[in-house]
Structure 1
Amino acid sequence: MKHRQEACKASAVLFPLLLLSSFAVVASAQPVTAARLWQGIPGLERTSQGRVFVSWFSGGPQEPAPENTVYLCYSDDQGQTFTDPVEMAGPRGTSRTFDPTLWHDPDGRLWYIYNRGDRELAEHGVYARTCADPDATPLVWSDEFRVGFDEAPQSFRVNKPTVLSTGQWLMPVTHVAEPVHDWFAGPKQVQGVGISADSGRTWSLHGAVEAPHWALENMIIELRDGRLWMLIRTGSGVLWQSHSSDGGRTWTAGTATTLASPGSRFFIRRLASGNLLLVNHFKFTGRSHLTAQLSTDDGQTWNAGLLLDERGGVSYPDGVQDASGLIWIVYDRDRQGAGEILLATFHEEDVAAGTNVSGQVRLRHIVNKLK
C-alpha cells in the first residue's frame, strides 16, 4: 500500500541574477592535462545555435579526493573537435568540487551546476555559475553561488533540472538531515527535489524518498497523466521509483522497478515525439553495454534499443535532443586508465530500429582523453 511522505521543506536563499563581478573563460586558457590523473562523470548541453558544451571532473589521485576539480570544454563544429578543458571551480579550504552538470534554462542561460563537499566540516551543498550568452566568445560566467536548501544543508545533485508543464523548475536532489563527516551519507541519504517557481531565484526542498543503500542520482519525468515519476539509482540491482501527484511536494514510498542497474547513473528524458528515452546498462556485466532504449507507453515497457558501447567501464550518460531531433549523449570510460569522455549521436528512429537507419549514428567519438 502506497503512503505519502511529508515533504521535507527548506527555505531557499536568493541567488544574485545580476552579479557585479564575473570573468571570462577563454578557449585558449592553459590546458590542465598535467593535473589530471583520472577523469569522468560528464555532462552535456547544446545551445540553439549549435555550440556543444561538455563538463566533467578530475583532480587528485581518484574520486573522491580533496583535490577534485570541475572542468568545461566546448565545440563549435558539431562535436568534431573540442577546446582544451578549463577549470570552472576547484578546492576551497578543505572542500572539493564534483559532479558537474550543464543545463540550458528556458530563459536562455547556461547553468554550470556542481557540488561542493567538505567531510572535515561536514558541509555539502549544490552550487552553480551561469552564463547569459553561451554562444558568445569569450564566455562570461557569473561568480559561484549556492543553490538554496539552507534548512537541509547536506545536499548534492548530479542530474539536470526538469521544467514542468506548469513552468516550475525541478532539480533532483539527494540530501541528509544530519551532518556527515564523510564524502557521502551512504544509507542515510534520501531523495527529493528542489522546486523553483521564479526562474531559479529561490528554491524549496521537498521529498525524502528512501531507497536501498547507495541511493542517489535521481531523475524526474512528468508523465502524461500529470504525475511526476522519480527514478533512483540504488545498490540493489534495479532502479527504484517514486511518484508525486502534487507537482513534487509529496512523494510515494520508494519501490523497486524491473529496470536492471549495476549501481550506476542513468539518463532519462522525454523526446520531442512524446516518447521516453532511457540510456542505461542493458544485459550488462558490471558497467558495460550502455544502451539507448525507447518507451512509447510512458515507461511501462522498453524496447531492446540501440547499443552505444558494449565495453566494460562505460558509465554516467547525460544528454539532450536538439531541434533537428538529433540526440546527443556523453559518457565516460575507464576513468583511471584511458580516461575517455565519449560522445554518441543518433536519432529516435535508430533507437526504435536498434540499428543505424538514419545514417547519422556516431558512436565512441572522443571528446577528451588522458591516454
Structure 2
Amino acid sequence: MKVIKTEIFFIVFFLLKISFAQDTKISYSPPIIIENPSSTEGYQAKDRKFTGVPSLAISDSCMWVTWYAGITPAEDQNSYVVVATSKDKGFTWKEVLAIDPDGSGPERSYDPQAWIAPNGQLWIFWAQQGKNAGLWAITTNQPNNTNPEWSEPRRITEGTMMGKPLILSGGEWAIIPSSRDVDNSARLVISHDQGISWQERGAVNVPEIERNCDEHSVIERKNGSLWMLIRVKSGIGEGISLDAGKTWSPFTFSEIKHTNSRFFIRRLQSGNLLLVKHGPIGVKTERSHLMAFLSADDGKTWSKGLLLDERLRASYPDGQQDTDGTIYLVYDYMRTKDQHIFITSFTEDNILGSDYDSNIVKVYQQRRVVSKGGNND
C-alpha cells in the first residue's frame, strides 16, 4: 500500500511539473501580430464585446491609439491588443494591428501603452499573461507612416505597466511596471542604452491590504526628487525617492482624493504638471467627472479643474501634448455596453481661463470617437 501511495505521489508531482513548465513556456512565447485586423476573422470590431483601456502617442504627422478588446464582455483569456492610427488629428481612424498571444487562450494581452521615445521611435507596450504576467513591446522607426515596419515583439520585464515611460535628468529611460502579487510591487526599471536592456532600480512597497493594480506614475520634480503616485484600493498612495529611484520613502496616502481607478499625470512643455482624475482634487467620486488640473509647484497646489466628461464609467485617461501645445486625451466609456474609445483636446488656457462654461463646451465639441468596438448603434 505504501509503494502505491509513493508511486501516485510521484505521478502527480511529475504531471504538475509538466503543467508548470508548459505554462511558463507559454508565458514567454511571443504573440501573433495580426496586420489589418478589420479584415481578419476573429479580430473585427463587430465581434467585440469588450473595448477599453486606451493609450495615446503622437508623432509629427500621425496619432496612435492602442487599447485592448475581446470577444467576450469579460477581461479574460480572449483579450487582445488593438493598435489604430490617424493622419487627420483624430477625425478618422484605421486599425492596423492586433496583438494576440494565442487566440482563445489560455493567455491574453492587455493594458497597452503607446509612447514616442526621444529618438523618435514609437513603442507599443502591453502585458501578456498566462501563469506569469510579462511586459512586452514592439517598436518602429517609422511613426509617421500608417503602415510602418515593426520590430519583433520582445519581453522587457516581469509585470504590467499602465503609465508612460519617462526620461530622467541623468538621461536614463525609465519604465514603471507593476508586479502586484508580490511586495515592492510598484517598480522603477531603467535603461542606459535607449531601451536595448533594462535593469530594476527600486520600488515602493504597497501594503498588501491596499494593493490593487498599482498603475503608478512617476514625476521627476524640479528639485531632482522622484514622486510616485500609485492607484490603491482607497484611492491614491505615494512614495518619494531622493536618489534617482534606488530607495523610496515608506508608502503614504496622497492628499489627492480618488476612487479606485486610473489617473493620468504628466509634465507639460510649460513645466506645469497636468493631472487628469475623477472629480475635484479633494473629493472622492465614482468613476465619473473626469477633470483636468494644472500645478505650477510640482503638485503642492492645483488649479481649478476643467470638466472633460461628467458621465459615469468614463475612465482610464491617457494623453500627450502636441508640439503646438494642444493636449490630446483618450479615455474609454462603458467598456462592455457602448464600448467607446474617445479622444478630446484642450489647452492649458482652457483650464486656467475665466470663461469656464465656454471652455467646457469647447472640450465637448472636440470629443471624437476612436472606436465603438462591437457597438454599431
Same fold (TM over 0.5): yes
The DSSP-based 3-state class of the residue aligned with 1:351 is helix
Q: Tell me, in whole angstroms, the C-alpha distance in 1 between the residues paired with 2:312 and 2:346.
A: 21
Q: Tell me, in whole angstroms, the C-alpha distance in 2 between the residues paired with 1:65 and 1:35.
A: 15
Q: Tell me, in whole angstroms, the C-alpha distance in 2 between the residues paired with 1:27 and 1:215.
A: 29
Q: Tell me, in whole angstroms, the C-alpha distance in 1 between the residues paired with 2:350 and 2:324.
A: 14
Q: 1:341 to 1:191 in 2, by over 3 A?
A: same
Q: Tell me, in whole angstroms, the C-alpha distance in 2 between the residues paired with 1:75 and 1:198.
A: 30
TM-score w.r.t. the length of structure 1 is: 0.83
Contact 1:316–1:331 (Cα < 8 Å) also in 2: yes
Structure 2 residue runs of 5 or longer lacking an equivalent are 1-31
- Equivalent residue, structure 2, for 1:191: 186
Q: 1:191 to 1:28 in 2, by over 3 A?
A: closer
| 2:127 is equivalent to residue 130 of structure 1 | no
Q: Tell me, in whole angstroms, the C-alpha distance in 2 between the residues paired with 1:66 and 1:158.
A: 19
Q: Tell me, in whole angstroms, the C-alpha distance in 2 between the residues paired with 1:23 and 1:114.
A: 13
**Residues 1-371 of structure 1 correspond to what in structure 2 (within 5 A)?**
25=35, 29-30=39-40, 32-48=44-60, 50-84=61-95, 86-91=97-102, 94-118=106-130, 122-148=131-157, 153=158, 155-175=159-179, 185=181, 190-211=185-206, 212-236=210-234, 238-283=235-280, 285-353=285-353, 354=356, 356=358, 361=363, 362-370=365-373, 371=375
Q: Tell me, in whole angstroms, the C-alpha distance in 2 between the residues paired with 1:214 and 1:28.
A: 34
- Equivalent residue, structure 1, for 2:26: none
Deviations 1:146-188 (A, max 9, x none): 103xxxx4x2112110011221111011115xxxxxxxx3x85
The DSSP-based 3-state class of the residue aligned with 2:269 is coil
Q: 1:189 to 1:340 in 2, by over 3 A?
A: farther
**How large is the Cα RMSD of the aligned pairs?**
2.3
Q: Tell me, in whole angstroms, the C-alpha distance in 2 between the residues paired with 1:40 and 1:308.
A: 18
Deviations 1:4-53 (A, max 9, x none): xxxxxxxxxxxxxxxxxx989459754711331111000000002x2111
The residue type paired with residue 115 of structure 1 is A
What's the offset of the Cα at 1:245? 1.3
Q: Tell me, in whole angstroms, the C-alpha distance in 2 between the residues paired with 1:72 and 1:303.
A: 34
TM-score w.r.t. the length of structure 2 is: 0.82
Q: Tell me, in whole angstroms, the C-alpha distance in 2 between the residues paired with 1:263 and 1:228.
A: 23
Q: 1:252 to 1:235 in 2, by over 3 A?
A: same
Contact 1:25–1:86 (Cα < 8 Å) also in 2: yes
- What percentage of aligned pairs have identical amino acids? 35
93-102 or 69-78: bigger deviation: 93-102
Deviations 1:113-159 (A, max 9, x none): 000011xxx211100011111112422111110103xxxx4x21121
Contact 2:38–2:45 (Cα < 8 Å) also in 1: no
The residue type paired with residue 198 of structure 1 is D
The DSSP-based 3-state class of the residue aligned with 1:350 is helix
Contact 2:227–2:239 (Cα < 8 Å) also in 1: yes
Q: 1:56 to 1:28 in 2, by over 3 A?
A: closer
Greater helix share, structure number: 2
The residue type paired with residue 172 of structure 1 is I
Which structure carries more relative contact order (alpha carbon 8 Å, separation 6+)?
1
The residue type paired with residue 239 of structure 1 is I
Which protein has the larger Cα radius of gyration, Structure 1 or Structure 2? 2
Contact 1:55–1:70 (Cα < 8 Å) also in 2: yes
316-325 or 253-262: bigger deviation: 253-262
- How many residue pairs get aligned? The number is 331
61-70 or 312-321: bigger deviation: 61-70
